Amino acid sequence: MTLAADIDCKQIREALGARSVVLVGLMGAGKSSIGRRLGQRLGLPFVDADTEIEKAAGMTIPEIFEKHGEPYFRSGEVRVVARLLDAGAQVLATGGGAYMNEETRARIRAQGVSVWLKADLDVLLKRVRRRADRPLLKADDPAEVLRRLMDQRYPVYAEADLTVVSREASHEDIVDDVITAIAGHVVPAKDLPAS
């Protein structure tokens, strides 16, 4: 197998062209923390769709849900992700629900390489407990909510171009796995370093 350390990130950038690397997956999968480090390694800007939605709305996500409801948030999410994809190559972390929208999936297919950061319930739960700003998890039983979302969303996330398991390892190890997966997808095999 090709090792991430041997991969020339310039080759990946060239192969991506104007396409972005788009991270999808459930809350707690590590899309933002992995995305930020991935951007640094690849030499691409990192953009977090949730942060951009908050900037555009002038409100936090909990405030948007509270004042306007989830459908309003979702339509803003569709518009913001479309705008970000049009901005050219970047590492884009999407909110957990973004990829569930058909229109957004089609745009990501056309303008990006999608990576599903797939994690077990235990891993997700441990990570989401660190923050209290996710409206969907303000429930009596967040584990139950996550389990339901896994059932609904995992078959759709599986449409992503690549799947990388977001396990309990260092961020750098997961970033290595993502880089290896992207290189295998976008760089012709003959141009990859031999192992």
Residues found near ligand S3P in the complex (CB under 6 A): 27, 31, 50, 61, 95-97, 134-136
Closer residue to ligand S3P (CB): 10 or 55: 55
Count the Cβ atoms, other than its own, within 10 Å of residue 182. Answer: 24
Distance from C-alpha of 69 to C-alpha of 49, rounded to nearest angstrom: 18
Closer residue to ligand S3P (CB): 31 or 118: 31
Closer residue to ligand S3P (CB): 50 or 177: 50
Of 164, 172, 161, the closest CA to residue 15 belongs to 161
Q: Is 160 helix (H, G, I), strand (E, B) or coil?
A: coil
Shortest distance, CB of residue 75 to ligand S3P, whole angstroms? Answer: 13
Shortest distance, CB of residue 97 to ligand S3P, whole angstroms? Answer: 3
For residue 99, the number of C-alpha atoms closer than 13 Å in the C-beta half-sphere is 31
Amino acid 94 reads T
Amino acid 29 reads A
Shortest distance, CB of residue 27 to ligand S3P, whole angstroms? Answer: 4
Shortest distance, CB of residue 37 to ligand S3P, whole angstroms? Answer: 16
